[in-house]
Structures are given as structure tokens and as C-alpha cells.
Amino acid sequence: MPGNRTRKSWPPRRTAKPRPFRTTTATATLLALCAAATALTACSDTGESSSAGGNVVLRYTWWGNPDRAARTQEAVDLFQKKNPDIVVQTSFSGYDAYKQKLATQAAGGDAPDVMQLDYRMIDQYASGGVLLDLGKQQAVRTEEFDRGLLATGVVDGKQYAVPQARGTETVVYDTKAWESSGVEKPRKGWTWSDWADAMRALAERTGKPGATDPGQSEDAFEVWLRGQGKALYTKDRELGFTADDLTRWWTFTDKLRREGAVAPAEQTTQLDGTVENTPLGRGKSVSDFNWDAPSSGYVALVPTGVTLAPMPSGEDGTPGQYFKPSMFMGVAADSGHPEESAKLIDFMLNDREAAKILGATRGIPVNESIRTTLAPELKDFDKTVADYQASVDGTLNAPPQAPPSGDSALQTTFQRDYDQVSYERLSPREAAENYITEAKAELRS
Amino acid sequence: MTTTEIPAAARTGKPSTPPKRPGKRQREGAAWVFLSPWVLGAAVLTLLPMAVSLYLSFTDYDLFNPPQWVGLRNYTQMFTEDPRYWRSVVATLTYVVIAVPLQLGLALVVALALKSMRRGKGFYRSAFYAPSLLGASMSIALVWRAIFNDGGTVDNLLGTGGWVNKPGWALFTVALLTVWQFGAPMVIFLAGLQQIPTELYEAAAVDGASRWRQFLSITVPMLSPVIFFNLVLQTIQAFQVFTPAFAVSAGKGGPADSTLFYTLYLYDRGFVASHMGYASAMAWTLLLVIGAVTAVLFRTSRSWVFYASEGDR
């Protein structure tokens, strides 16, 4: 009953009378100034890279999986041992989160000293004045780099970023599951219809979808498109395909999804750029499309082992996959320590011991002499990646030019528009038309 | 009389007038001096960014290059050319309509239960309040996602699959996370309940009124200012929901845009697509809408909020 109200009410009532104001204005001023000063100094620490105990502190950020984290840390430790006056603070996350965080930091003038960059970021970051011209940094040696790959980091004649490695897309599959299913294994030159048949057969015999639904992936779409002699973007940085092309792709993948040959929408929507959240990584499908180096992440997740196979080609045998500079390193234009940052980049790219530690975790190194000396020494999954690259080397077409700035946002748009298809809220045609409208707006601005 | 003071005191916390007054000018000067850190902070950290944001809302700004003046284009694009914008509006309104009444209802029920409780009050008060302290954090939202994901606890117990991956269920799952954090309105309800004079209930009991009758005829009217206060506060908060949806949908507002709340889409436009001008335009539209909704709530409150002091007159 509400009748039992205690005297101790809560929250406690104010009982003491407020004291009369006796302080003089002078004292008040002093107190207020002290308060203001404390508040101001408390905010003044911007977390910028600075000297700590006489050491130079560099911030180095990158995206990747735990395997890459362990090896990167080991290489960074070695760098610190060789350069006792430099302290490197590393941080990493999955690609999607990394992309957002870096853009925010860059816009706020707080970009990390050394950052890992994607092909799709170079144009935007370089033209936005975020990156330092590495051509002027003597410490970064690029003599042993493949000229063509090195040029992918050049914008308006300046070397804003240096490629770290090259990579190519792959069909990565659960070796045991695929082999024991008896379905014919992927072979060089297989077409998209061969692939679709294999997915159907896998789903039927293993009871699991054959692959992640590739409809959400702009990368997979690009391979499919290139297999027909088309491209994502024209040379004038406009869309290289039409709503009809995209409708055909989404109709193709949507049909496979309805048949259960590829993973259901509930799985697709969880993709966030980490291998842990892919159906293959979660043990819910037999294969996946990914870039070759990050596929190392599956090794820890698929106990029966994974194998890399070439991507499907167009129906007439035109290959869609290509070698791409897998990632770049760049330095912030407003870094307080450009020389030390350049030193770190040079170490990560050109130091032999570092190369041995890093292996192929970011792809096969672009430094040619390191690549040649490293190749026989590669172990485990690094060797898998190297062998895979060797197997397709010479059969692929030239890479497209770097995607225009707007593409970075369009990757996400692509995935979201396909969500509408896989959850059966829009037809492939409607979603494709939405995407074309959004893409045109994105590329115009 | 006492009932009127609760929300007012909660908002301003004004002390009563001191007995001996120094000169007016002297008092004002001292007041300004003491206020100066706050005034400075408000100007530099709130008003200035707001002004910049208003300016940006009329520009095309990609974070990297200087803003380009585009007039009202962001606003017209928002209302006429962007289907995803409208999906975010629908998702947000649905969320507000589901989450706010559920949360306030639960807060009131628990507050009533706690009020009549004799022992362990302090413990239960803290226990129910704790989720509100923890709930705003990213980690709890991530745990929530794990619980409701496929292969998560709920899936294992009920075998219904992952709730967060079903477009029809995901929004409800996010709302549930908010409802669970009913601690703050509950504490305010509790304070309000304890200010209702016991005599009213005693008199009603003597007249033979049932507990339900007492609730409807005494508790609700006497508590209406507090209900109103909570309603306004929680509605404004619900419009700005961000963290739970961000974590539960891995920042995408999925599945199929079903949890693409307004602020999430705003964040996406600003920080993923680098359209700060568009994001600013969205922010200002949100401000106006929240202002309008609050105004409507205040208008309707005249007919259902009962202030004891008015009754006295």
C-alpha cells in the first residue's frame, strides 16, 4: 500500500538554507579564472603524436586480421629495436571500420603518421591534401619496385603512396568439404556458369550453401563485368556499365540464393570486411570470394584447411580477375615526424628481416629482389598465396586505373542495394536502377 | 503544492533567495564571472559548431576540399531524390512509437513496485538503474548483437534464428535494448510517486476506492507532470538513437535498411560517403522536427497534465 511513506524521501530534499553571498567580485574573478584555466588546459591535449621521454612517437594504423596483427607487431618491434629513439604505436581494425575512422581522423587534421591505404583511397586522400609527397623523402627507397605498380601510388605527378604488395582475387574453399563432396574442383579458365553449377552441386551434396552470395560484392561484380570486356569505370571516371548489366548480375546471384546454392540474406547482411563474419569463416558455406592474402584469416577458422583457386572467367574465357596493388603505405601531410615515418615505411617495404617476418600477409611484396629471395623461403599460407599468384601470372588482363573518389562510398551502397534484393524487397531491376542513380550522383559530386 | 516543484527543481535546481542581498550590479557581475567558463564553453563548443554546421548544410563539403555553396540542393535532394532518406525516417518514427511507450510503461510499473517495497529498496533501485549506466556503451550493444545473432543465446534457446538478421525483427531487437534501459525515467517516476500526499490515498481508501481506481484517479493525475517530463525527454532521446543500431547492424543499418535510423544514415552520409553538407542538412532537419514534436507534446499537455497549484486556484 502506498500509505507507508517513510520520512527518508529519495532523492534527499534540500534542508540547509543557502548561504548568503559574501564573496567579493575580486575573489570571484580569481576563482572563475582558475576554473576556466583548468577547463582550457584539460582540453588542450589533442592526442597529437609528440615526444615522450625524448623519444619520437609515431602512430601507425592499418586494417587486417589477427594473423597480420601478430606479424606486423613483430616487424614493428624489430624496427624499434633498430631505432631505439622511435616508439611506434600501432592500431588496427576490420576494413569497414578502418575506412570510416581514417576518413574522420584525416578530416579532423589528426591523421596517423603512417597509414595503410587502399587503392580506392589514394585519389581522395591525395587530392584532399592529407598525404605527404614521398618522392621528397630520401628514406623511402623504391629502386627495386615494379615501375607499373609504383605508378599506382602517383597522383598528379607526385608519389603520395607506395604500394606494399600485389594481390588478386580468389575462390577460397574448404578443402575437405569440397573434395569429399565429389564435385569437380575449380580449374583454370572455368566460367561463371561452371561456377554456378558447382555451387548448386555443392549445396545439394554437402547440405551447405556453396559460397557467400557474391551479389553484395562490388569486387565480384567487377570480375564478372571484366569477364565480358567491360569495366566498373570508364577512363573519364564515369560508370562503365548500365542498369541492364547490373540487373543481369543481380538476377543471376538472386536466383542462386533462392535455390540455396549461395548463402541466405541473413548471412550476407553480416558481412563487414572481416573473414570472421563470412559464411565460410562461420562454418556455414563451402567457399568464398576474397583477395588472396587476407584469405590467410580462414586458416584459423576452417580446421580442415583451405585452398585457393582462380576466379571464374567470362563465358568466352575472358579473365576478369587482375593483379592489383593490394595496399599502400602513406604518411600524413601534417605529421610532425616525416623523416621517421619515411624510415618506418622503408623498413616495412625493404628490410629483409622485416620481409621475412611479414611474409605474404599483405600480399606478395612489390620489392623485386625481396620477392625473388623470399619466394623459396615462404612457408605455410604465404607459400599458398605465392604459388597461387604464380599459377595465374601471365594469364590475366591489365588492372583498371585507380577508381574515382566516389567509389569508396559506392562499395557500401552496392552492398545495401543488394540487401533490398536478397531480402526480396526490391526486384533486381529496381535495385539496379537505384544504384545507377546513386552512383551517378556520387561520381558527379 | 509540492508536486509542482519536482520537475521544476529537477530542471533548474534554483536555490531560494538569500536573505541579505548585495547590490544588484555587484551580484550580476559576480554571476557573469562565475558563468564565464560555461558561457565560453557554450559559445566555442556548441554555438560555433552549430553555426558552422548551418553554413555547411548549404554546401557540398567532402571533408578534404573546401566547401562549395549549393544553396538548398541538399534539402531538395533529401526530400525528393533519396529513397533511403525516407526509409530512415520511417525506421526512426517506428522506433520512437514502439520504444518510448514501452520504456515509460515499464519504468512506471517498476517504480510503483519499488515504491511499495519495504525491504531491499536500495538494492533493487541500483539493480534496475544499472542497465541505464551500462546501456549507452558500445560493449553492451555488441553483447546484445551476439545474444540475438544466429547461433547466439536466443537462437539456441528458442530456435528462431538470429533476430538481428531479420528485417521485421531487427528494429524490435534494438528497441528492446532501449526499453531495458528504463532506469533514468524510473528514478524520476519514483521521486514523483513519493511526493504524492499519503492523505489522498488514505481518503480514497476510506471511501472504498480500489487500488486500480486509486491509481487512475490519484496516481496518474498527480504524476502527470512527471509523466510529461519523462515523455518529452525520452522522445527527444529516441529520435537521436544511434549506438544500439550502429553496433547491432555493424554500422550499416541493416538488414535491408530496417534499422537505418536517422542519425545512423546521417553518420553514413557524413563519415562514410564524405557528404558533410548533406549530413548537416539532415541534422538541421532533425533539430526542426524534434522541436516541432516537442511543441506538439507541450500543446497537448494542456489537456492532460494536471498541476496541483492550478487546482488550488
Task: For chain B, give every domain's residue range.
Answer: 84-302
- Predicted pLDDT at B61: 87
Summarised one tens digit per residue, pLDDT across range B35-94 is 999 999 999 999 999 999 999 999 988 877 788 899 999 999 889 888 889 999 999 999
Minimum CA–CA partner of A418 in chain B:
B256
Percent over 70 (pLDDT), chain A: 88
Tally the domains of chain A: 2
Closest CA to A310 of A302, A319, A298, A301: A319
Confidence tier at B136 by pLDDT (50, 70, 90): low
ipTM of the complex: 0.73
Does some domain include residue A16? no
* Mean pLDDT rounded to a whole number for chain B: 83
Contacts of A96 in chain B (CB under 8 A): 250-251
pTM over 0.80: no
Residue A435, domain CATH: 3.40.190.10
Domain that holds residue A387: 24-167+325-392
A206 shares its domain with A305: yes
Summarised one tens digit per residue, pLDDT across range A287-318 is 999 998 888 888 889 888 899 999 999 999 89
Does some domain include residue A74? yes
For the cut 50, the answer to whether the pLDDT of residue B11 exceeds it is no
Verify whether the Cβ–Cβ distance B274 to A408 is below 8 Å: yes
Q: Does CATH number 1.10.3720.10 belong to domain B84-302?
A: yes
A108 shares its domain with A133: yes
Does some domain include residue A1? no
- Predicted pLDDT at B21: 62
A412 shares its domain with A379: no
- Predicted pLDDT at B48: 93
Shortest Cα–Cα distance, B296 to chain A (Å): 30
* Mean pLDDT rounded to a whole number for chain A: 82
For the cut 90, the answer to whether the pLDDT of residue B152 exceeds it is no
Verify whether the Cβ–Cβ distance A269 to B198 is below 8 Å: no
- Mean pLDDT for the stretch of residues A54-76: 86
- Predicted pLDDT at A30: 44
A66 shares its domain with A158: yes
Shortest Cα–Cα distance, A369 to chain B (Å): 37
Confidence tier at A321 by pLDDT (50, 70, 90): very high
Verify whether the Cβ–Cβ distance B273 to A99 is below 8 Å: no
- Mean pLDDT for the stretch of residues B168-192: 86
Summarised one tens digit per residue, pLDDT across range B239-278 is 988 888 888 777 777 788 888 999 999 998 888 888 889 9
Return the minimum-mean-pLDDT range out of A203-207, A381-385, A422-426.
A381-385
A225 shares its domain with A205: yes
A135 shares its domain with A36: yes
- Predicted pLDDT at A26: 46
A200 shares its domain with A263: yes
Summarised one tens digit per residue, pLDDT across range A401-433 is 778 878 878 888 899 999 999 999 999 999 999
Verify whether the Cβ–Cβ distance A28 to B30 is below 8 Å: yes
A317 shares its domain with A334: no
A146 shares its domain with A289: no
A355 shares its domain with A222: no
